[in-house]
Amino acid sequence: MRNRKNTQTWDGPALAWLNLTHAKTRFFVALSAIGFAVTLIFMQLGFLGAVLKTATFIYDNLNFDIVLISPKSLEASYTLPFSRQRLYQAASIPGVASVAPFYISFKQWRNPETKFTRSILTMGFNPKDKVFKDPEINKYRLELQSQDKLLINRYSRPEFGSRQVGLKTELGGHDIEVIGFFSMTNSLRADGTVVMNDQNFIRLYTGRSFDDISLGLINVDYQVNINKIIQDLQQVLPKDVEVLSREQAGERDKNYWLTSTSIGIIFGTGAIMAFIVGTVIVYQVLYSDITEHLSEYATLKAIGYSNWRLSKVVLQEAVILAFLGFIPGFFISSSLYTITRLATGLPMEMSYERASFVFLLANIMCSISALLSLRQVLTTDPADVF
């Protein structure tokens, strides 16, 4: 006799799919709500990520291993000056290859067309020092030695007016001329940036001298232990300056934006609220579905379906909702990222890591909703229903 092969029924999500699509209007409302929640989470995380990325935009463009900064400074774009003498003291430490002063502040830029003024981040340096990584800036180091000449960030906001080589306008009440451009990310504090030599910078700020520097940039010799140099500097220099590595300086500025401002709270709370709203909506959808099909679930229990098997159906519904709701949320968010980046200059970019994280959150959100709504299924007694 031929042996009859054991056959098994496919235990896939067919029942879950039919349950969801039976009431098409409710199904599409649920997908819209999940897509909306996913979009909100994406946008909150996108803004938070952009803030953290732009928090280090000044350091990212500078050439240094160790930086000196006043402990009273909020972050790199909002610094309080300290004595240049600290740089001379740092230069005497064995292992220090070079030091360079750097100047940062804000001044009013006059739009040459509208005549309105707007605050712009102004950076000054000695063109003889290779302070910037950007080759565009470095190629203008000779021209920047001229009086009243500067470079402007091509990504500065349109409110600063048209930008072209030879443009003449006013900065801080002084006549200046644009001789070129460079590329630098904008931030929440600075939506426009210019670079000039240190003499032109000091000329803009009455009462400020070359001795009042914003940052002290230090490079160490090749193969020298940076942490050892930092320890030596901390022992030699007074407490009126902080000595930080590149990584420490970046973390200091990120912590400022996250903990000392409302930025971290606003965007973090927004993401949490979107998660909660999505969870509640999915719970309502699944609860309504279970209530509507309670007799069917009871029938399945009566013919031998276990609580686990029925629970799997509800969990499958949650996964389907999470997957299908994530897709429109992802594409809408990607478009909004592009629009925001073009409108503000903030680095809003969709990354694989962020997309994976939000997809995981969407599944967790829907799974929590499923678990909350399962009580009806687990406590259903077929005898009561019939």
pLDDT at position 9: 47
Query: DSSP secondary structure string, 120-151?
Result: EEEEEE-TTS--B--HHHHTTTTGGGSTTEEE
Query: Which residues contact residue 59 at a Cβ distance below 8 angstroms, ignoring those fewer than 6 apart?
Result: 67, 76, 246, 249, 250, 253
Q: Which residue's structure tokens are 């830029």? A: 109
CA-based torsion, 90, 96, 101, 102: positive or negative:
negative
Q: Which pLDDT score is estimated for 123?
A: 96
Q: Which pLDDT belongs to residue 386?
A: 56
pLDDT computed for residue 227 by the predictor: 92
Query: How far from the centroid of its chain's Cα atoms is residue 103's Cα?
Result: 26
Residue 5, pLDDT score:
46
Per-run averaged pLDDT (10 residues), the chain, 386 residues = 45 69 80 88 89 88 95 91 94 93 95 92 94 92 92 91 90 92 87 93 88 94 90 92 94 89 82 84 79 74 76 83 92 93 82 92 87 75 60
Query: What is the pLDDT at residue 1?
Result: 41
